[in-house]
A and B are shown apart, each in its own frame.
Chain A
Amino acid sequence: MEAPIRAREALGFILFSLLFSICRSSSLNHLLISNAERRIDLSSHIVKVYLTLKVENAGSTPTSEVFLSFPPTQVDHLATVEALVTKGKRKKTTLVRLDVKPTELPDAPNDAKYFAIYLENPLKSGESTTLEVLYLLTHSQEPFPAEIAQSESQLVYYRDSALILSPYHIKQQTTFIKTPSTKVESFTRVEPSNRAGTEIKYGPYEDHPPYSFSPILIHFENNSPFAVVEELVREVEISHWGNLQVTEQYTLVHAGARHKGVFSRVDFQSRPTLNGASSLRYLLARLPPRVHSVYYRDEIGNISSSHLRTDSRKSELEIEPRYPLFGGWKATFVIGYGLPLQDFLFETSDDRRYLNFTFGCPLLETVVDKLTIKVVLPEGSKDPSAVVPFPVEQHLETKYSYLDVVGRTVVVMEKKNLVPTHNSHFQVYYTFKPIFMLAEPLMLASAFFLFFVACVAYLHIDLSIRK
């Protein structure tokens, strides 16, 4: 195993240093990073990376863009990138969120992908600022061995670089990697590097040119269940009679090491810590407060193993799938609940209405591969428009529900690769005349009226031919 890694390492070095010479002339090199610290948290299956960069403008022109670069293999698994800047004097510091957008740069070496951080105030020549960057990676821990038996624990690989990949020169950098337990099978050594407890430290490394790369591989135990929702469809139905009905359809899979061989209930029941350590026994969903009529079911009926705890701040729904999920096992289910409308529906000054609702998945510590949100507006609403804090695919549909004549407008939003940090709010604006609320009751009333009229008419009319 060691030899190919070395070879790749060496190849990487050569390539990057070659490419580095090409981009030397680009406009990027007037910035440099005087100090970088990276903390990689591997304790769950979502990899959290905290990056602290001290950026210095060494050029002559002020600049307001700072670029982050990622290797193409990581970009596919990158769920979110956030950047914050500390503002203010020493004691009264506040964190300000900055805009981050994916960009393309010409002559990007080795298909590296870029994200641009837009500073609030341009960084003048000679000034420096500290940026806090957080990014999350999904599906980045590869189970090895890929199949385990019930009593074995789950071991995974994590691949990254000991050096931070950056388009800028980094004067000094350190990387800390936190593993979930002390059990680490092996890790690539790039001196100076050492391991203490659950932490592996790489660095400090001094003066590395742009696009330095040094692949590392860590093989460690991670028994946290790899809960991945392959597909989630959330339907939010607005009724102006005072209810917001949410229906969520999950396709859940345990994406860890695949289960191999027998499943023994005796062992699972009698020695729960040793057996099926990485199995997924229950999930926690955090629902909005004042939730009512919660249900949890699947295609073949109600699942009786769930508990709901509510207080004034939040509601927690603990759900157990019908069976414990081992690696590679699947479960599909539906969660539905009602919410009071006044908590989520508001009016703007220009007589429009808008729904304010959370975007992501209410399950904690889960990755959603594909999320579809459908906002079903009441019949007769017009000009829908959605405001989402991040880019999503959007289109409109029509849905027919109870007693609908023209159908309800559905705003559909789709996004791939979501993590819990995506649980921010989005808004759907529309116009609606309250008179439409009366359409369905009037229809029912007139149908009953006609029925009684028909009855009366039938009793009074003699249809017989003979007299």
Chain B
Amino acid sequence: MSNSSTSDLLKPFKLKTKQQELLIRVSILCLVYILAFITRLFSVLRYESMIHEFDPYFNYRTTLYLTQHGFYDFWNWFDYESWYPLGRIVGGTLYPGLMVTAALIYRLLHFLRFAVHIREVCVLTAPFFASNTTLVAYFFGKEIWDSGAGLVAAILIAVCPGYISRSVAGSYDNEGVAIFALLFTFYLFVKAVNKGSLAWGLASAFGYFYMVSAWGGYVFIINLIPLYVLVLLITGRYSMRLYVAYNCMYILGMLLAMQIRFVGFQHVQSGEHMAAMGVFFLMQVFYFLDWVKHMLSDTKLFQEFLSITVTCAVAAGGIALGVGAASGYISPWTGRFYSLLDPTYAKDHIPIIASVSEHQPTAWSSFMFDFHILLFLFPAGLYFCFKRLSDATIFIVMYGLTSMYFAGVMVRLILVATPAVCLISAIAVSATVKNLTVLLRSKNKVAQIGSTKGTSSAKASSKASLDQSQPFQKNGAMALLFGAFYLLSRYATHCTWVTSEAYSSPSIVLAARGAHGNRVIFDDYREAYFWLRQNTPPDAKVMSWWDYGYQITAMGNRTVIVDNNTWNNTHIATVGRAMSSYEDEAYEIIRSLDVDYVLVVFGGVTGYSSDDINKFLWMVRIGGGVFPVIKEPDYLVNGEYRVDKGAAPKMLNCLMYKLSYYRFGEMMPEYGKPPGYDRARGVEIGNKDIKLEHLEEAFTTSNWIVRIYKVKPPNNRW
């Protein structure tokens, strides 16, 4: 045979089964790694390499500062360009993990003589970390189930829209690296619990430190892990491994986390971190009891001792907590924490949190949109986890359940749930497919064995007889297998479609379809910001609603009154009050804030709906929350918000209305509609004859999306 000679030749290259398996596994992982990266590049290919949205602009600006001035200047940076006249202590009020990571990558690349711009590094940081997350997902899946589940988990998480939504190229936000850090910390902790080794515990402490430095969501870790430990203690799964892992991770992780200035002493002083400390002490009590039990032979005596010590410990803990809380040493839970536990809390108490669209409770459709088939693979995976309960599967079940609850409370927390959902679904997929293929293969094997060797084992024969009892099993298994592959391929197409359609627009450049099907680009934001940067005095102060603060400082390079770091509610309320007052009242406020330019976003010409008029009620609410002069009913007519002739008189004459619609009445934005027809709201505006007294139009972008007004100096008194 001619084949034999070639096969002889190839013999030295022929791999053993184990090596083949390794090769396939490594190449799948490499492909998944690349896939996770390139699927996030839609926005770069379609638009350009640019930073998206709002917060990433602040991160980009600080990263730029870090690379230009070095770490110490960055750490001690007092930013007088934001929150004028208060300023902001940047080093002490941010999570530096993202910026330091990007700056390190930048340094490394420059050390290797890759002369890239820091912007490219920032744009590609999130996809890079998404790729790394797939690797972590593989190892995590391997740890809790097997390497097959790990591979499936890596593939699922690589394209899952819930994660892609926050990690496309250009979305340079904390979440980009934080999800990697979160999953990595969990993986290391589970590994530490499984191994009971100090080294893994130490590694998980460092993982936790990285997470703390990267994102405020670390609170989830520091509450989930104690909860998990508590559940293990209650279910009687206490072990020395758990003791070593938790104590090492908690103590070292806490000490490391204190190095982040924004976190500081919160680990010992804030109510959100007390659960971890309580569990830590409980752990010591358990260890002590275990030791006593070991020493005492009498079980009855031990039972009595147990009840006394547990009561004492709980009482001591309760008293300590009570005293700490009463004396003010332990701060109570913050509003954000409450709003997580109780979805209605923010609406009633903190309008500034409720005003952000990504803090709204999640709709069912967005679960379907972000998870697709994972939504029903998740319960199946839970079933498999419960079937094969171990320390690791308990962890992933708890992670999945708690994060799903939080995902239901807030849209943006779908992101936190995504890794858990992917892992648990991966278990379902892997276990199902494995069972089915085992079924298919074993039948053949049985048939083979039966034909070649008469001495088949008892087990095999029993299985064969079982198989014969279900005649369509092979076909059924085949059908199910095809079904599974069909579903997974649907998942892949859905993910790609969602990524390309929903999550890859930079939101700073707007694209629309023109009349002839051509793509029209509205680049008005950058037009306005660049105008500010070039043609206003360098010390000009710009007042706008807080959404645009980060962009104005980063792209316009001008001082802003308020920005997206909403740390001072009163200051924001003052701006809200100025926007919702009559012009002369507003002028007083504007003068007192030393404002030179006022910037508003207006979508009436283009039909861009997320403009300031549509956000205006939130300005009224936030302004009214601090200054009772502003009353929401004044701007509504019978509880209805409108801008046409039937609008409330205060609405028609407030500063925001005037600035948005100034000279809009002369404009014909749409053919066949009267002049002054607002395309975003579909009505003709109610006040076309707007006169400005204290402000003058300084610049309006080509599609009117951004309008900038100059504040005139006060009139001479004579």
Contact = CB atoms under 8 A, between A and B. Distances in A.
A301 interface: yes
B144 interface: no
B534 interface: yes
Contacts of A332: 534
Q: Does more than half of chain A's interface fall in helix, strand or loop, or is it mixed?
A: loop
A323 B530 contact: yes
Contacts, number: 70
A300 B529 contact: yes
Interface in A378-436: 400-405
Given A322-B530, A330-B534, A401 B700 contact: no
B228 interface: no
A298 B667 CA distance: 31
A23 interface: no
Interface string B111-131: 001110000000000000000
Nearest to A304: B521
A329 interface: yes
B704 interface: yes
B113 A403 contact: yes
A301 B526 contact: yes
Nearest to B666: A266
| B115, B530, B697, B701 pick with most chain A CB within 10 angstroms | B530
A90 interface: no
A328 B537 CA distance: 12
A299 to B, nearest CB: 8
A262 B708 CA distance: 10
A262 B534 contact: no
B697 A264 contact: yes
Nearest to A322: B527
A105 B193 CA distance: 93
A100 to B, nearest CB: 38
Interface string A249-285: 0000000000001111110001000000000000000
Given A264-B697, A402-B115, A298 B530 contact: yes
A380 to B, nearest CB: 15
A456 to B, nearest CB: 13
Given A301-B50, A400-B115, A262 B697 contact: yes
B699 interface: yes
A302 B113 contact: no
B702 interface: yes
Contacts of A305: 523
B702 A265 contact: yes
A98 interface: no
Given A264-B697, A300-B526, A402 B555 contact: no
Nearest to B50: A301
Contacts of A270: 666
A264 B696 CA distance: 9
A303 B702 CA distance: 14
B535 A400 contact: no
Given A301-B526, A323-B701, A329 B535 contact: yes
Contacts of A303: 523
Interface string B558-599: 000000000000000000000000000000000000000000
B29 to A, nearest CB: 14
A297 B535 CA distance: 18
Contacts of A265: 697, 700-702, 704
Interface string B661-675: 001001100000000
- Most chain B beta carbons < 10 A, residue from A300, A305, A330, A331: A300
B183 to A, nearest CB: 25
Interface centre among A270, A322, A332, A401 (most CB of B within 10 A): A322
Contacts of A304: 509, 521, 523
A391 to B, nearest CB: 33
Nearest to B529: A300
B108 interface: no
Contacts of B526: 300-301, 322
Contacts of B521: 304
Contacts of B113: 400-405
B535 to A, nearest CB: 5
A303 B525 CA distance: 12
Contacts of A299: 530, 533
A261 B698 CA distance: 8
A303 B531 CA distance: 13
B501 interface: no
Interface in B510-527: 521, 523, 526-527
B21 interface: no
B48 interface: yes
A322 to B, nearest CB: 5
Contacts of A404: 113
A329 B527 CA distance: 13
B698 A263 contact: yes
Contacts of A264: 663, 697, 700
A367 B704 CA distance: 32
A301 B115 contact: no
19 contacts: A262-B697, A263-B697, A263-B699, A265-B697, A265-B701, A265-B704, A266-B667, A270-B666, A298-B530, A302-B47, A302-B48, A329-B534, A329-B535, A330-B534, A331-B530, A331-B534, A401-B115, A402-B115, A403-B114
Interface of B: 47-48, 50, 113-115, 509, 521, 523, 526-527, 529-531, 533-535, 555, 663, 666-667, 696-702, 704
Interface of A: 261-266, 270, 297-305, 322-323, 328-332, 400-405
- Rank and list the top 10 A-B pairs by shortest CB-CB distance, nearest first: A265-B700, A330-B534, A302-B48, A322-B527, A300-B555, A262-B697, A262-B696, A301-B50, A403-B113, A266-B663
